[in-house]
């Protein structure tokens, strides 16, 4: 029997690589295709352990290239799509919003058009699953949580582009009946996370005794989820979620940035056999992010009650696993922080 063909976009990135690994290892009856442009954020080293498996195929390509996407879909006729490819960093979206419109909006619409074309109204056992973010809901004050019915109110160019792509996915379901599902997740952390984001950037800087740049007063709050728990939620929603529905995914794990950074410093003092308090001295408060959302928090009640999903690790366990991974994979960190990263870091942080 022919294997089901599952396309995962952005599979060489942080979350995508965890989703690809999970699908390749857990579903030998699927042929998993990883389509990735390999931008600065995409790294095939992330998939070394599964790259030789016979149910895995890598395709280098750009979702913004409509002709390429159309031909690819006509050639392979995917049964299911899990769409993660995106520009994902808020700070970069503030410097270069157009790139986010092109990749996140146009790229998503190209994929929707190609799925429509090849499925041609035959939707049994077909699915377009769009992976999105809690940032589409805007920011919260001190209380409350985002639910699936919270009105969209994106504040950054990144979240506006993701909100727009979510709207297109919904519109293709409503207008053309395309079988879709969407999930909106909170901040992920874990292995293979590019060190432009808070946790891996701080781990890298602590290891190298560099300043730890905390934006503003560090009072902003994020809800952190271990990336493997996100990948498991995606798996459950892909297979068991209801068609046309949105599911929120979160860790029920809110931290003020400054408290998280101090917690991480203490954990790393132990791991690096430093005196307690030594790494904390590296904390430096820097100019705030423009339009910085104050607080995100997710109500995952729908996912928990419909699909019995639960996070599998506590934050303490997940963070320790993460730090251990970075400490034993310093080559990975050195590779991704050479060259273009240095330029990015200079432009973002020096004289901030
Ligand atoms: P990432 O930046 O680590 O990876 C993005 C991947 O997409 C990279 O491999 C990159 O090469 C690829 N890509 C970018 N442009 C492309 C293009 N034009 N064509 C093909 N591939 C392209 O991102 P991530 O943090 O793993 O996020 C993955 C998805 O999950 C994104 O859609 C993001 O919005 C969403 N999300 C992320 C988080 C988080 O905390 N990181 C939380 C919720 C949702
Ligand atoms: O909420 C989900 C989103 O989480 C995802 O959709 C995004 O793709 C992902 O990047 C993440 O967005 P954030 O902006 O919340 O993540 P980031 O790691 O960039 O920042 C987390 C918090 O830490 C935020 O309040 C800004 C702050 N920060 C960040 C950096 C990089 C600092 O204080 N210093 C820093 O150097």
Provide residues with CB under 6 Å of ligand 2. 88-90, 133-135, 186-187, 197-198, 201, 213-215, 220, 222, 257, 289, 296
Buried-state track 288-305, b at ≥16 Cβ within 10 A, e below 16: eeeebbebbbbbbebbbe
CA of 89 to the centre of ligand 2 (A): 7
Helix H segments across 177-289? 198-207, 227-240, 257-271
Active site residue 296: no
| pLDDT tens readout for residues 322-340 | 999 999 999 999 999 988 9
What the chain holds in terms of domains, given with CATH numbers, is: 4-189+227-252+295-313+339-350 (3.40.50.720)
* Distance from C-alpha of 343 to C-alpha of 220, rounded to nearest angstrom: 27
Is pLDDT at 1 greater than 80 in this prediction?
no
Enter the pTM of the model: 0.98
SS3 for 118-157 is HHCCCCCCCEEEEEEEHHHHCCECCCCCECCCCCCCCCCH
Residue 60 Cα distances to 38, 130, 298, angstroms? 7, 20, 34
Percent of the chain with pLDDT over 90: 98
Report residue 200's pLDDT band, with 50, 70 and 90 as the boundaries.
Answer: very high
| pLDDT tens readout for residues 214-248 | 999 999 999 999 999 999 999 999 999 999 999 99
Ligand located closest to 165 CA = 1
Looking at 36, 87, 135, 293, which residue is catalytic? Answer: 135
CA of 64 to the centre of ligand 1 (A): 14
Q: Please, what is the average pLDDT of the chain?
A: 97
Q: Which residue has the tokens 């990975």?
A: 332
Look up residue 249 and give its DSSP letter.
E
| pLDDT tens readout for residues 98-141 | 999 999 999 999 999 999 999 999 999 999 999 999 999 999 99
Provide residues with CB under 6 Å of ligand 1. 9-10, 12-16, 36-39, 41-42, 62-64, 84-86, 88, 103, 107, 131-133, 162, 185, 187-188, 194
SS3 for 159-191 is HHHHHHHHHHHHHHHHHHCCCEEEEEECEEECC
Residues 6+ apart with CB under 8 A from 75: none
CA of 190 to the centre of ligand 1 (A): 14
Task: Check residue 334 and give its pLDDT.
Answer: 95
Using the atom order of ligand 2, give the atom closest to the CA of residue 185.
Answer: 2
Residue 186: strand, helix, or coil: coil
| pLDDT tens readout for residues 291-315 | 999 999 999 999 999 999 999 999 9
Residues in the chain: 352
């Amino acid at each position: 029997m022919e294997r089901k063909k599952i396309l995962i976009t952005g599979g060489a990135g942080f979350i995508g690589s965890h989703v690809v690994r999970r699908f390749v290892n857990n579903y030998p009856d699927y042929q998993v295709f990883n389509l990735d442009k390999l931008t600065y954020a995409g790294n095939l080293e992330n998939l070394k352990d599964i790259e030789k498996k016979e149910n895995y195929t890598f395709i280098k390509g750009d979702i913004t290239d409509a002709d390429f996407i159309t031909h690819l879909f006509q050639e392979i006729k995917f049964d299911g799509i899990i769409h993660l490819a995106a520009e994902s960093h808020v700070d970069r979206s503030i410097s270069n919003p157009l790139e986010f419109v092109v990749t996140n909006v146009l790229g998503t619409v190209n994929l929707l058009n190609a799925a429509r074309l090849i499925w041609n109204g035959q939707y049994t056992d077909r699915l377009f699953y769009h992976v999105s973010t809690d940032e589409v809901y805007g920011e919260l004050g001190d209380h409350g949580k985002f639910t699936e019915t919270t009105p969209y109110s994106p504040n950054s160019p990144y979240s506006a582009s993701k909100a727009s792509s979510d709207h297109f996915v919904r519109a293709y379901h409503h207008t053309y009946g395309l079988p879709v599902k969407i999930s909106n997740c909170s901040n992920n952390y874990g292995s293979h996370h590019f060190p432009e984001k808070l946790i891996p950037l701080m781990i890298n800087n602590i290891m190298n005794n560099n300043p730890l740049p905390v934006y503003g007063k560090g009072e902003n709050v994020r809800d952190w989820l271990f990336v493997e728990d996100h990948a498991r939620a995606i798996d459950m929603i892909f297979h068991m979620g209801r068609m046309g529905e949105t599911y929120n995914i979160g860790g029920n794990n809110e931290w003020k940035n400054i408290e998280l950074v101090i917690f991480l410093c203490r954990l790393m003092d132990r791991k690096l056999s430093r005196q307690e308090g030594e790494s904390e001295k590296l904390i430096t408060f820097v100019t705030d992010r423009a339009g910085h959302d104050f607080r995100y928090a997710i109500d995952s009640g729908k996912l928990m009650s419909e699909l019995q999903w639960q996070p599998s690790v506590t934050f303490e366990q997940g963070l320790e696993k993460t730090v251990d991974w970075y400490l034993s994979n310093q080559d990975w960190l050195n590779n991704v922080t050479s060259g273009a990263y240095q330029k990015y870091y200079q432009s973002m942080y020096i004289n901030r």
